[in-house]
Structure 1
Amino acid sequence: MWKSLPRVLSLVVRGFALTLAVLATIVVIRTATFPSYQTSPPECKLTDPDFIPADQERLSRFTSAIQFRTVSYERGVGTPQELARFTQFIRESFPTIHGSPLVRRDVVGNYSLLYRVDGSDASLKPYMLASHLDVVPITQEANWEAPPFSGQLKDGYIYGRGTIDAKHSLMGCLEAVEFILSRGHRPKRTLYLAFGHDEETSGHFGAKVIGEMLAQRGEKIEFILDEGTPVGEGLVPGVSKQVALVSVAEKGFLQLHLTVNEEGGHASMPRSESAIGILSKAISKLEDSPHPNMFKMFGTGPETRMLEYVATEMTLPYRMLTSNLWLFSPLVGWVYSKKPQTNAFARTTTALTRFNAGVKDNVISPEATAVIDHRIHPSSSVEEVIEFDRKVINDPRVKFNVINNMEPSPTSPYGKDSPTYMLLQKTIQQIYPDALVTPTFMVANTDTRHYWSLSSAIYRFNPYVMTPSDLPRFHGLNERISVQNYERVMNFYYHLIVNMDEPLEIKRHGHEDEL
């Protein structure tokens, strides 16, 4: 037996070396031959006869829109007078739209707006472009570089609350439709414009009512495009080009109220465990036991495709990893888990947002409560998250109560087999010819939650460039958009509307999605 051991070890080593050689060969071949998912449509140019310039008149309309203080504070609490003034401004600013026999305008929930632009072919399903009228409140106004409701033009940027969330898309849509109708063009496919007035507080009185109205009319929408992820510059590691991130899904959310009730008393006679201690241990368990990493689970959802769709444009080390996620997904998942921004794409997240207990320094509190905020990965569900938490805590003394919840959105079709996604990709690359387009999902939520029953193809995308330094401006200080970006926004929506005159059909590009 001992005499044969060296031979056995030699065979094991040879087998291991052979396995490594085979794996290395596969990795090299896949890295070298991995398909590209990008296209090269004709570029939108400044010299095109149908290019929409950001001239003084259009800029004036946009900067005026920023000056309306259409703030949503909490559900049902906003700025009704400002909303009324803003909707009247819109009516007066776009005379062609509001005077066209092709356009029907409905005021929904007192302030939200729904436009229907009738197409020439009634047999085609309509599509919908969405945005919202309201903005979030201002903080630290004294620290803004320009007054937050001024719409001030400074160094090539327009400053003000709403410039990137989301009056740029609202006004960009309207400018595009105004331009098209003023040229005497009637779209082939019917178009809806949906502008809610309380998106920042969940859209309960705006988009929700719009969705219900369209459902009552029996409308089925070909696809819906709302605000969402941007054209990122420097946001994707290993990629030097701009990356247009198209969200095909949204995370869900779950807010849990945890309670422990135990006997209290005087601090001089403590029991071995207290309500505070029991709940603290439970919270510690949750923070020490994160939900499963979807990259490590060999997922094939948007979090994986997001990398694969740009793999061919990555630097070599990144390209090798992303071209071979069948092998390296655990490693990529581990890397993603190290930063909060990327960890949010890898799993359902857990955040302790409140912890309350105690009434006096020398009194043992009989009760301790906490609130946990989960953002649920599209591959999971509310029920799965609750069950996971119960198993991790494993203590019947900790009582669960659901405060609020929403399931993750359905995942919309994407890739070469989705005509709507490919049309959206074409439009993006007409405006950003050097950008890569890739699917992803949003970690936040939009008004599209109220439109799930209307369409199976819902996308969330902002057609402007955002760099890492711009991220804090979103809902933060010095929100702004460049004049060039706003010009691109208008032309993006124009080209999207024009492209929707084309037949929606599957077009092959010589590669396969099944890798």
Structure 2
Amino acid sequence: MFWKTILIVFSIFLSILLYRAYVVFTPDKTIFESCLSSTANHSLKFDQNRLRTFQKLLQFQTISYEVNKQNFDEIKKCRNFIKEHYHDLVTNYSEFVDLYDIAEYSLLYSIQGKNLNLKPFLFSAHMDVVPARDLNRWKYPPFDAHTDKDFIYARGTLDDKGNLFAMMEALKEYLHAYGQPSRTFYVALTHNEEAGHSGAMGIAHHLSQQPFGHNGQFEFVLDEGTTILEEVFPTLNNPIAIIGVAEKGYMSIKYRIAMASGHSSMPSAPTAIGILARAVDKLESTLQPSQFGRGPELSLLHGVTPYLKFPLRLVMSNIWLFGPVIEWVLSRKPGTDALQRTSTAVTLISGGEKENILPTSASATVNLFNDFSNELEKSLSTAARKEPLDTTNYLACQCIVTEFIKIIRYTWLSKKDSSLEQSVFFSLNGYSTLNKMIELTVTRDKPVLASER
């Protein structure tokens, strides 16, 4: 009787798993049907003329080094080229197309639709690029835009002049084929997404002054986006086009220690660099807690589940049961582990003045991409519990947390800014939480023992 009961329970349990795998998660075969868009009225073929236009965009050295430190001459040339090359958009369709210069270098194209009751949408891209370091690792010079049969080699092909070029060419071809659209939309091209915010802030302010701006929202915003991935999931034969629906928060924290000077022949132990090294080791060896199942990664997994094969389909369709196993698998690779937790990376470190002099200071910058479901204060509290400056001898955890929270509550946008203005700014600037460098200074002349607190 006992084993019969066990068998019945097991059969019911297995039936539930299989029901979810093959009934609840059923493939949508229509997604593999060809698009119905006709090519009779338009052509977006990547011909030699378009190749030359793209190469020209890539050849402008629109480098952003840091805030207010950019190659402004090249950015200005790039902006002028865009305005001149796509000048017909404004002259031929002046009844409903306008172009605005924003923050001196950024551009905003406004295409007014026929039906003003429809929510507008926004396309955005940026013309600046990050520096091309270590030129010896480049197959061709990064701003030559060299092309062979398969690739174009240049800084900015993916981030983000490729998107800029594609959006402008699609806009030009659409207006040529169909004329005025039904829905209003905008194309925002910013100049300092990589280092700064004036372009995004100016465009956000401009859009907030439009009739829909104070209490309306965009239908959608399309910016840099992600990539098309292949062979990401075992047994999945189709490529996956990832649609970004959220972006992690972003924050950089700078830890700095100042100490009295001394000579290396009579060293104090540990030195400022030694303290910082232990802190860095703890930060890297202790991960932020997993938030698996609380963010948009769950929708991604549910979306691909119907196209997987047994037994993976059985597992993925029953995350309620196999969640811990999936969480462990995701944690094996940095790319997938970042989907489920706040990532912590030590990106800059410095200290010392001379080889035989004890360092008077040492500093490290830690970059966090905050998980969607995790508040920044929680990430900071977790970072403090990792004892980044060794609480046993040097600093109380609570001091770190209090200092961080006080600073993190400041924002670049004032309370009077509309919600749309803030959301547009965040979208154009690349992050849902603004980059804010936080510096914490710790000064000590002697070790602080636990009993002294």
Report the counterpart of residue 344 of structure 1 in structure 2: 338
User: Where does 1:275-424 land on structure 2 (aligned, <5 Å)?
Assistant: 278-295=275-292, 299-357=293-351, 368-393=362-387, 395=391, 397-398=394-395, 400=400, 402=404
> Amino acid of the residue matched to residue 453 of structure 1?
S
Q: Distance in 2 between matches of 1:16 and 1:290?
A: 40
From 127, 139, 150, give the equivalent of 1:145.
139
- 1:273 offset after TM fit, Å? 6.1
- 1:251 offset after TM fit, Å? 0.9
From 207, 222, 240, give the equivalent of 2:200.
207
Q: Distance in 2 between matches of 1:177 and 1:122?
A: 19
From 184, 190, 196, give the equivalent of 2:184.
190
Change (3 A) 1:135 1:21: same
From 80, 84, 90, give the equivalent of 1:92.
84
Change (3 A) 1:107 1:406: farther
Is the 2:61–2:71 Cα contact (8 Å) retained in structure 1? yes
From 9, 14, 18, give the equivalent of 1:24.
14
SS at 2:181 equivalent: coil
Q: Distance in 2 between matches of 1:456 and 1:125?
A: 19
Matched, 1:34 2:24: yes
Is the 1:44–1:51 Cα contact (8 Å) retained in structure 2? no
Change (3 A) 1:147 1:270: closer
- 1:29 offset after TM fit, Å? 2.2
Is the 2:25–2:317 Cα contact (8 Å) retained in structure 1? no
SS at 1:192 equivalent: strand
SS at 1:135 equivalent: coil
Change (3 A) 1:134 1:268: closer
Structure 1 unmatched ranges of 5 or more = 1-9, 408-448, 461-515
Change (3 A) 1:286 1:144: closer
Q: Distance in 2 between matches of 1:74 and 1:210?
A: 20
Deviations, residues 193-214 of structure 1 (Å, cap 9, x unaligned): 1000111214x12112111221
From 51, 54, 58, give the equivalent of 2:46.
54
Is the 1:254–1:405 Cα contact (8 Å) retained in structure 2? no
Report the counterpart of residue 104 of structure 2 in structure 1: 110
SS at 1:113 equivalent: strand
Q: Distance in 1 between matches of 2:258 and 2:370?
A: 28
RMSD over aligned Cα, in angstroms?
3.5
Q: Distance in 2 between matches of 1:261 and 1:140?
A: 32
Is the 1:36–1:309 Cα contact (8 Å) retained in structure 2? no
Deviations, residues 70-91 of structure 1 (Å, cap 9, x unaligned): 2222211222222222222222
Is the 1:229–1:247 Cα contact (8 Å) retained in structure 2? yes
> Amino acid of the residue matched to residue 231 of structure 2?
G
Deviations, residues 327-384 of structure 1 (Å, cap 9, x unaligned): 1111111111111111111211122234445556676656554332221100101111
Structure 2 unmatched ranges of 5 or more = 411-418, 431-453
Matched, 1:258 2:250: no
Report the counterpart of residue 446 of structure 1 in structure 2: none
Is the 2:27–2:307 Cα contact (8 Å) retained in structure 1? no
SS at 1:179 equivalent: helix
- 1:307 offset after TM fit, Å? 1.3
Q: Distance in 2 between matches of 1:192 and 1:406?
A: 31
Identity of aligned residues (%): 32
- 1:456 offset after TM fit, Å? 11
- 1:165 offset after TM fit, Å? 1.6
TM (normalized to structure 2)?
A: 0.77
Matched, 1:72 2:68: no
Report the counterpart of residue 210 of structure 2 in structure 1: 217
- 1:54 offset after TM fit, Å? 2.1
- 1:267 offset after TM fit, Å? 6.5
Report the counterpart of residue 6 of structure 1 in structure 2: none
Report the counterpart of residue 231 of structure 2 in structure 1: 234
Q: Distance in 2 between matches of 1:258 and 1:181?
A: 53
Q: Distance in 1 between matches of 2:107 and 2:156?
A: 17
Change (3 A) 1:226 1:300: same
Matched, 1:244 2:241: yes
Which one scores higher on RCO, CA 8 angstroms, separation ≥ 6?
A: 1
> Amino acid of the residue matched to residue 150 of structure 1?
D
SS at 2:338 equivalent: helix
> Amino acid of the residue matched to residue 186 of structure 2?
Y
Change (3 A) 1:191 1:37: farther
Change (3 A) 1:260 1:74: closer
> Amino acid of the residue matched to residue 26 of structure 1?
I
Is the 2:201–2:425 Cα contact (8 Å) retained in structure 1? no
Change (3 A) 1:61 1:242: same
User: Where does 1:406-445 land on structure 2 (aligned, <5 Å)?
Assistant: none
Is the 2:75–2:105 Cα contact (8 Å) retained in structure 1? yes
TM (normalized to structure 1)?
A: 0.69
Change (3 A) 1:22 1:57: same
User: When the two structures are aligned, how many residues end up with a matched partner?
Assistant: 404
- 1:452 offset after TM fit, Å? 4.5
Is the 2:295–2:340 Cα contact (8 Å) retained in structure 1? no
Report the counterpart of residue 433 of structure 2 in structure 1: none
